[in-house]
Amino acid sequence: MAAQKPKILCLHGAGTNATIFRIQNRYLSSLLSPHFELVYIEGFHPCPAGPGVLPFFEGIEPYYKWLPDTNILNSSPGALENLDGNGKVVVQESLHWEDLPRLVSEYNKQGEVVGILGFSQGAKVGFHLARYLQRHQPGKIKFFVAICGTSPFQGVGAVSPPEEETDPRAELVQQSLTGDAKAGLGRVKGVMNIHVIGAQDKWRKESEGLVEFFEKDDHKRKVVRFGGGHQCPPEDKVNKEIVGYILEALKGGEEWDDGVF
């Protein structure tokens, strides 16, 4: 009986779905598949098709996103009371995204998941999952890949403050609105993080910002650039570089060699 491959949890962008992401991610997937099982899951909220989805992916409905239409901060007024017993970190994470426990549950269902790969909004929520796992299930996640990722909830322009200054959540929220990744929830540490950034991506600033939410460690923090826009890169060289870093993470920092492809 063949040994089971470790798994990568794959999170699609807003206005698409797991099937579409399999197609978008086909170049990278072809290089990862010999080493990993790629698990694609659906976002939690139905929505219209995202930018560039139609007409190419017409008929592959329904489309989903990870974040609800309601204001994330105000959608769960009981978040502090419900989660206070778990400590400040969990309180703040749930405060920013009430579906985080649901994504953690999806992750735990999958078995041996060693990495997270997210595109656009999928990278945003994947970051919050990675940070939660680093703190509550340390050592399980070996790497995180953000393809054209967007800012976490406390990043630039990611959230708005509570409507009332007397809101009991105001102090926590204000910390997270500074734009400083060291404030509020802090950086992810000890996880190989690979940021794939398109030179022509109109959300490139957010992708660059996401990098700063990880510890400054040249051995763990990798930035891979390509010439395209808001897309999964098609270039073989770029995808091989991404896979190389992923395999390096599994080998405990040993450099990969081209013979694996």
Phi first, then psi, for residue 144 (nearest 5°) are -135, 130
- What pLDDT is recorded for position 164? 34
- Going from the C-alpha of 260 to that of each of 27, 35, 36, 37, 196, the distances in angstroms are 16, 9, 13, 16, 21
pLDDT value for 155: 44
What confidence score (pLDDT) does residue 187 get?
84
Please tell me the predicted confidence (pLDDT) of residue 62. Answer: 96
Residue identified by tokens 């769960």 is 76
Give residue 61's pLDDT: 95
Average pLDDT in the chain: 80
pLDDT of residue 170: 36
Q: What is the pTM of this model?
A: 0.80
pLDDT at 154: 56
CA distances in angstroms from 71 to 76, 105, 151, 158, listed in the order given:
9, 23, 16, 11
Whether the bond into 55 is cis, omega within 30 of 0: yes
The CATH number of domain 7-260, selected from 3.40.50.2300, 3.60.120.10, 3.90.1300.10, 3.40.50.1820? 3.40.50.1820
Rounded Cα–Cα distance for residues 1 and 13 (Å) = 36
Distance CA(77)–CA(79), nearest Å, equals 6
Alpha-carbon span 202 to 148, nearest angstrom: 10
Cα dist. 149→49, 69, 103, 124 in Å? Answer: 18, 19, 17, 6
120 Rama sector, left if φ>0, alpha if ψ -120 to 50, beta otherwise: left
- Which residues of the chain register pLDDT less than 50? 71, 73-95, 155-184
Q: How far is CA 152 from CA 28, 155, 208, 216, 238, in A?
A: 24, 5, 12, 17, 25
